[in-house]
Amino acid sequence: MERRAFIHLGSPKTGTTHLQNTAWASRDVLAAAGVHLPLARHDHFLLAEALRADDVAPHDLADRPVLRRLADDLAAHPSGDVLLTHELLSHALPSHLDVLLDLLAGFEVHLVLTVRDYQRQVPSEWQQFVKTQHIATYRNFLGRIRDNPDHVFWRGQDYQAVLARWSRGVPAGRVHVVTLPPAGSPPTLLAERFFGLLGVNATTLRAGAAGRSNAMLGFEQAELLRQVNRALPDSLLDQRRRYARLVKDWLAETVLAAQDGTRIVLPRERLDWCREVTERQVRALEAAGYDVVGSLDELLPGDDAPEDLPRPLPDAVLPAAVAALAAAVLQRGEDLDRIAALERRVAELEEAAGGTEAGGGDGDGDGDGARGPRGVLRRLRQR
């Protein structure tokens, strides 16, 4: 049988983190079932970044290290199916797709897009945007995605457009739309739908047992984070990795996500728009003849929407800010303790290095050598 390559495109905020956690935690189980996860998890992110990089010409993409590593990995695993998964693959540029598809020329390519109703998706995406430096209020965000079809939101959330970009030359029967089950469904249902496509029994997998989380923030916490973004200096905002480590991973995912907050929901005034957009998407997906796992009816919005948005008044945001400051104080205390321990270690090594020098070390052994106290001291000072 021809080998299959399943490319899980996203979309963002459609259970992708849960599915990826499950896949990477169960890598050995998938391998035993004939499904190979190539490279490392971060490489799948690097692959998505390469395919959406508008500052890289298509003819240069094949020389990107991650694509060379992928080619080597596939050559080293000449049998079985392959799974590539990252939600930002949905953002890939049309001009870049052939590079990956050419690399998979020996495979039967299958595209998998997980999708969720916009009634849940829009609020979730706003707080996710805030986690990545955005400063638009929720109300402004709603207006922008309604009025601007080119808004970055639609790059990954216009389901039919994402699949139209990717599916050139891929038969409709090998394009799979997996709908996110509605609230109240069994927690294993999404994994059963997704991994069932790969011919893997989801009950054999370690569901969500590894990797990062991507918890939904409450309204007060997201509004606080938005205001923090406005206050941060450009010097930090320009350093994506540093911002991600300090703000997204620590403040948002560790501190604020642990707080109780008001659930972010789509207001009633946007329901008609949401229903219109959804019905247009459903018609396009049906007309394309894609394989649907689940039901497109699960994308239709319900009627349970509040009359208006909650108002993030200062007294509502204040408790979240106070709790975040308390967490920052505790973290600072841990950091100072760690610094003090390192300083004590430096002092001990300086004393040991001085003693070695007094004893006439030759510079190649325990004194100045890389393994001696002075060498260790140099490395510790650099750290």
pLDDT of residue 210: 47
Predicted confidence (pLDDT) per residue in 164-207, tens digit: 999 988 999 999 999 999 989 999 999 999 999 999 999 999 87
Q: How confident is the model at residue 39 (pLDDT cuts 50, 70, 90)?
A: very high
Q: How confident is the model at residue 49 (pLDDT cuts 50, 70, 90)?
A: very high
Q: How confident is the model at residue 113 (pLDDT cuts 50, 70, 90)?
A: very high
Predicted confidence (pLDDT) per residue in 131-170, tens digit: 999 999 999 999 999 999 999 999 999 999 999 999 988 9
pLDDT of residue 326: 86
Is 90 exceeded by the pLDDT of residue 371? no
What's the whole-number mean pLDDT along residues 348-363? Answer: 66
pLDDT of residue 290: 98
What's the whole-number mean pLDDT along residues 243-251? Answer: 91
pLDDT of residue 266: 93
Enumerate residues 6+ apart whose C-beta is below 8 A from 304: none
Centroid of chain to Cα 291: 25
In what side-by-side order are the strands of the sheet with 175-179? 35-36, 81-85, 4-10, 108-115, 175-179, 291-293
Please check whether residue 307 is in contact with residue 348, taking contact to mean a CB–CB distance below 8 angstroms: no
- Is residue 294 helix, strand or coil? coil
Cα separation, 139 vs 161, in Å, equals 25
Enumerate residues 6+ apart whose C-beta is below 8 A from 257: 213, 215, 216, 217, 221
- Is residue 5 helix, strand or coil? strand
Give the range among 12-21, 53-62, 92-101, 259-268 with minimum mean pLDDT: 53-62
**Angle subtended at Cα 317 by Cα 316 and Cα 323, rounded to the nearest 5 degrees:** 115
N-to-C CA span, the chain: 53
What's the whole-number mean pLDDT along residues 98-111? Answer: 94
Cα separation, 2 vs 290, in Å, equals 21
pTM score? 0.83
pLDDT of residue 365: 46
Q: Residue 83 is inside which H or E element, if any?
A: strand 81-85
Q: Which residue has the higher pLDDT, 305 or 114?
A: 114
Please check whether residue 291 is in contact with residue 173, taking contact to mean a CB–CB distance below 8 angstroms: yes
pLDDT of residue 225: 94
Percent of the chain at pLDDT above 90? 66
Enumerate residues 6+ apart whose C-beta is below 8 A from 238: none
Mean pLDDT of the chain: 89
**Highest mean pLDDT: which range of 167-176, 214-223, 240-249, 357-366:** 167-176
Is 70 exceeded by the pLDDT of residue 126? yes
pLDDT of residue 303: 83
